[in-house]
Amino acid sequence: MLNSHAHIDFVGVEKLESTNSCIVPSIGKNNWHAVTKFAYYALGIHPWYLEEHTTDDLKMLDQYINNNNPIAIGECGLDFNRNINKKKQKIYFQEHLSLAQKYQLPVVIHSVNATEEVIMTLKQFPSISGEIHGFSGSASQAELLTNMGFLLGFGMQITNINSTKLRSIVANTPLEFILIETDDHHNPNDMLKVAYVVAELKQIPVDKIIEQCDNNALSLFNIKTKT
């Protein structure tokens, strides 16, 4: 089973027996080198860490992408729930999308309280594909994003029975647009718990859920084989 978004390079996150079973996104220049040690990784600057970066780092990111073999650009995006300059967030997000377009790579997007702005920005880059990881938007936004060809990542939050809105979105989102992840959760193997919840909500056998979600990730990130 392929974990579509796991920060297994973080302190406190358990390691996986096979690093071929997850996609590891970076959060900034401080861990670009670290993630390149994994089989599947993404390169980008997370909006939480923008204050640690300058526009020169965007140029360095371009060079790092060119000199390595990431399967995606990211983790990047917008987080309006944080006290981080919105103008700077938007500039960096657009620069990441430009890099995704330049290198013809999918983009891994972090979006919190900013889904409308993310959608409007993505419309300026119609050739780009990718995922909205840890999706937290509305049902109508989920439908619009999937109509645009974007996949939605769901993690441990849907295992909470009180997350009724999010669980409803999972139930109503076509399975071919769903990815399973654990983000920075301490045990990335708990992705199986997420798969069981998706199966329960969709009334589909869990093996079918795992097979389709794996295929979704393999296709989006152009991964030829998974061991």
Rg (CA), the chain: 16
Structure confidence at residue 227 (pLDDT) = 46
Contact 117, 93 (CB under 8 A): no
The letter for the amino acid at 85 is N
Structure confidence at residue 224 (pLDDT) = 83
Structure confidence at residue 16 (pLDDT) = 77
| Among 85, 88, 141, 87, residue whose Cα is nearest residue 111 | 141
Q: Is residue 10 part of a domain?
A: no
Q: What count of other Cβ atoms lies within 10 Å of the Cβ of residue 174? A: 10
The letter for the amino acid at 110 is H
| CATH code for position 30 | 3.20.20.140
Domain that residue 118 falls in: 19-220
State how many domains the chain has. Answer: 1
Q: What count of other Cβ atoms lies within 10 Å of the Cβ of residue 103? A: 14
Q: Is residue 4 part of a domain?
A: no
Structure confidence at residue 15 (pLDDT) = 81
pTM assigned to the model: 0.95
Q: In DSSP terms, which residues pair with 145 in a beta bridge?
A: none
Structure confidence at residue 209 (pLDDT) = 97
Question: Which residues of the chain register pLDDT less than 50?
Answer: 227
> What tokens does 98 get?
């430009």
Between CA 71 and CA 104 the distance in angstroms is 10
